[in-house]
Amino acid sequence: MRSSLFNLFRRGRKPDFIVVGAAKAGTTTLFDYLRRDSRVFLPDRKELFFFSKDSVYEKGIGWYCDQFATARASQLCGEITPSYTVWPRYSEALPRIKRHLPRARLIYIMRNPVDRAWSHYRMVNGTSWPLGDRPPDDEGFAQPSEYMTQIRRILEFFDRAQLLPLLFDDLVRDPQSCCSEIQRFIGLEERNLVKGKTVHANAASDLLDSGNGHHRTGRMPSTELRLQLNRRFEPTLQDLESFLNRDLTMWRS
């Protein structure tokens, strides 16, 4: 009986914060850094997909809570699943988070939208961009780069104070400041997590094959295609500049 009550209590643990995106924007780096903080618990698996994939959500909230069962009572729990901000492909993700974790704090890191889309495409299809000057038909590669569309979707369900937007550029330039901002946001005192280590190679270089560590050759998007994609993402960049009160000219090259 005592064991059953203990297991029920352990199942009741839910995360305090979630890094909800964006894919290929430094989330693996954040995972590596946050796991260095002894006050934070993250599951061994970086991406749980609980709220985005129906097949995982069907396992039930008990399964989800089990992923945090070994956390100490003194630790804050979190998880990192970038697919939670791929709307409308995963349209149920944010409503599900709201239903089960209404007070969760959400962290959303963004990168040059063209670079992010290219990196995403390369991860799925290999190094080369085989489409010449034509963008991919699959909107799944562009949707995660429509940052203000995703942010507006977040704010349909969560208060602005529950969202911390970050830029990949800041993570590259000053990772400790970025980590400190996260620590303050989730209610922890600042603690050095970087200690001279550099940003994860997956995010730092699109020409590095993270699977085997070797450089691979491949055709990058043409200048014309980059111009097309820049034009596509310009409205979301303008909206994002207003939302962040920050100049994003560096993303327009």
54-78 pLDDT per residue, tens: 999 999 999 999 999 999 999 999 9
Q: What is the 3-state secondary structure (H, E, C) of the chain?
A: CHHHHHHHHHHCCCCCEEEEECCCCCHHHHHHHHCCCCCEECCCCCCCCCCCCHHHHCCCHHHHHHCCCCCCCCCEEEEECHHHHCCCCCCCHHHHHHHHCCCCEEEEEECCHHHHHHHHHHHHHCCCCCCCCCCCCCHHHCHHHCHHHHHHHHHCCCCHHHEEEEEHHHHHHCHHHHHHHHHHHCCCCCCCCCCCCCCCHHHHCCCECCCCCCECCCCCCCHHHHHHHHHHHHHHHHHHHHHHCCCCHHHCC
Which of 182-186, 192-196, 233-237 tops mean pLDDT?
182-186
Considering only residues 176 and 229, tell me which one the structure prediction assigns the higher pLDDT.
Answer: 176
Given a cut of 80, is residue 217 above it in pLDDT? no
CATH superfamily entry for domain 2-251? P-loop containing nucleotide triphosphate hydrolases (3.40.50.300)
**Lowest-pLDDT range of 32-36, 88-92, 195-199, 222-226:** 195-199
pTM here is 0.85
pLDDT-derived band at 4, boundaries 50, 70, 90: very low
Given a cut of 60, is residue 169 above it in pLDDT? yes
pLDDT-derived band at 89, boundaries 50, 70, 90: very high
Q: For position 227, what pLDDT does the model report?
A: 86
Considering only residues 200 and 50, tell me which one the structure prediction assigns the higher pLDDT.
Answer: 50
Given a cut of 50, is residue 215 above it in pLDDT? no
Task: Report the mean per-residue pLDDT for the chain.
Answer: 85
pLDDT-derived band at 1, boundaries 50, 70, 90: very low
Given a cut of 70, is residue 197 above it in pLDDT? no
pLDDT-derived band at 145, boundaries 50, 70, 90: very high
